[in-house]
Amino acid sequence: MNIESSFGPFKKKYQIGKIAYLAQEKGLILSSGIEIKNFPIAYQTYGKLNQDKSNAILICHALTGDQYVANQNPVTQKDGWWNFMIGKGKAIDTDKFFVICSNILGGCMGSYGPKEINKKTSKIYGLDFPVITINDMVKAQNLLIESLGIDQLHAVIGGSTGGMQVLSWSVLYPHKVKLLIPIATSYRHSPQNIAFHEVGRQAIMLDSNWRNGNYIEENSYPSNGLSTARMTAHITYLSEIALQNKFGRDLKNKQGFLFNFNSEFEIESYLHHQGNKFIERFDPNSYLYITKAVDYFDLESDFNGNLSEAFNTIAKINKRAKFCLISFSDDWLFPPSESKKITYALISKGINVSVVAIESNNGHDSFLVKNEQLENTISGFINSN
């Protein structure tokens, strides 16, 4: 089923592609205890599912990513966010694998989220949308996989927030996954990262146009808040070296300082550009819900402070399961030390794990930038196992 959805302050309408309505008979109970039924999940697939349904790979997108992983995004008109990785003859070869990517629960690219209409009240959900968690997103993905008739995934791959979903898959559905590739991620969201998220959320909620989350109904839009949130987040996606290399202290006006408060430095205009682009495609309330879900993620405390126990079930019931953890040297959002802790937990349970911290200079965003070592590691891992 194809549906249309509206985006940005001017409510531009776009076709957002394939949608599946899930949990039609039996509802899905969320972490908060609220039950959701017959809800939409938007997704894209690439390649063909083979006869024994053993070649499916699920890609889990990051915080503000979407299901358009390897084809043109109808809203931004840009290539998919992992176009260099997925496709014919690429690292994740769609001639060999059936690749699925769905927009996360709480997202705004067609999946069930706060800008959808509440059937009970016929109004847009806004803050009436239930608070969701990473586990809830994964449970929705699992329903989608079931609806596609797939019993076991050859691989689950994801970076950042997507990596958390990969880890959650190994805990919630250990029998349904063979290879797991969590990239630039962690077993929990650190206090520093929660702090940055909160600044972003406050920027949105303090914008008078946010209107307690009812901006769509009230014909308003917290553009400044959302844009500021995105600017803050973008600083964390890069690194000091990346900012130095890309922008330095370069000025837009080559003649020198203007002695006013317009944005003068290249880095400033870069952030403004990122902020302005973002408001055209992302729903402010959705940003609140998803950042909250990421902040809640903590596998360690889910298992009483013992991360190893999170992987106890997969160690016992799925001997074929293999992990490949990838991190990046200059990622300060999810530094390699976080991945090391996951490694130790996996090793302590005797789980087959490979780990690499790739030398990088694009910070956290390194996994979104073409990188031969990243491509080789992933393709080697999924093709030889």
Partner 1 sequence: MKIRYDLKIVSKLVKENSTALDIGCGDGELLEFLKTNKKVDGRGIEISHIQVSNAIKKGLSVIHGDAEKDLLAYPDQSFEYAILSQAIQTMNHPKEIMIEMLRIAKYAIISLPNFAYYKNRLHLLLKGKMPINKIIPYQWYDTPNIHFCSIKDFKILCEELNFIIKNEIFINSNQQLDKFVLLQKYSNLFAEYGVFLITKKEFKTGDQEEFAFKKDFVLGYKPLIPNPIFKSFKKN
Which residues are known catalytic residues? 160, 331, 364
Contact pick of 185, 286, 343, 366 for partner 1 (by CB under 8 A)? 343
Question: Is 354 a residue that touches partner 1 (CB under 8 A)?
Answer: yes
| CA-to-CA dists, residue 211 to 129, 130, 206, 207, angstroms | 16, 18, 9, 8
Closest CA to 331 of 174, 167, 143, 185: 185
* CA distance to 3, 80, 218, 277, per residue, from 8 (Å): 17, 20, 14, 10
How many CA atoms does the CB half-sphere of 78 hold within 13 Å? 12
Q: Which stretch binds partner 1 (CB under 8 A): 109-117, 154-162, 208-216, 341-349?
A: 341-349
Contact call for residue 241 and partner 1 (CB under 8 A)? no
Q: Is 337 in the site for partner 1 (CB under 8 A)?
A: no
| CA-angle at 238, arms to 8 and 171, nearest 5° | 80
End-to-end CA distance of the chain: 35
Site string for partner 1, 272-311 (x = CB under 8 A): ----------------------------------------
Residue 347 in contact with partner 1, rule: CB under 8 A: yes
Give the residue, chosen from 105, 353, 364, 367, that forms a contact with partner 1 under the rule CB under 8 A.
353
The token pair at 79 is: 């290539």
- Quick one: which segment of 54-62, 165-173, 243-251, 347-355 binds partner 1 (CB under 8 A)? 347-355
Q: Does 6 contact partner 1 by CB under 8 A?
A: no
Q: Is 376 in the site for partner 1 (CB under 8 A)?
A: yes
Q: Residue ranges of the alpha helices (H) in the chain?
A: 134-147, 161-172, 191-205, 223-237, 240-246, 266-281, 284-296, 299-302, 307-310, 312-317, 336-348, 372-384
Between 304 and 384, whose beta carbon lies closer to partner 1?
384
Q: Per CB under 8 A, does 373 bind partner 1?
A: yes
Report the nearest approach of partner 1 to the CB of residue 355 (Å).
Answer: 4
CB of 306 to partner 1, least distance (A): 14
How far is it, in rounded angstroms, from Cα 32 to Cα 82?
Answer: 32
Q: Least distance from C-beta 345 to partner 1, angstroms? A: 9
51 vs 127: CA distance, rounded Å: 44
334 binds partner 1 (CB under 8 A): no
Shortest spacing between CB 85 and partner 1, in angstroms? 15
d(CA 95, CA 271): 38
Q: What amino acid is encoded at 145 in this protein?
A: I
Tokens at residue 327, please? 């991190």
Q: Which parts of this chain interact with partner 1 (CB under 8 A)? A: 322, 324, 329, 340, 343-344, 347-348, 350, 352-359, 373, 376-377, 379-381, 383-385
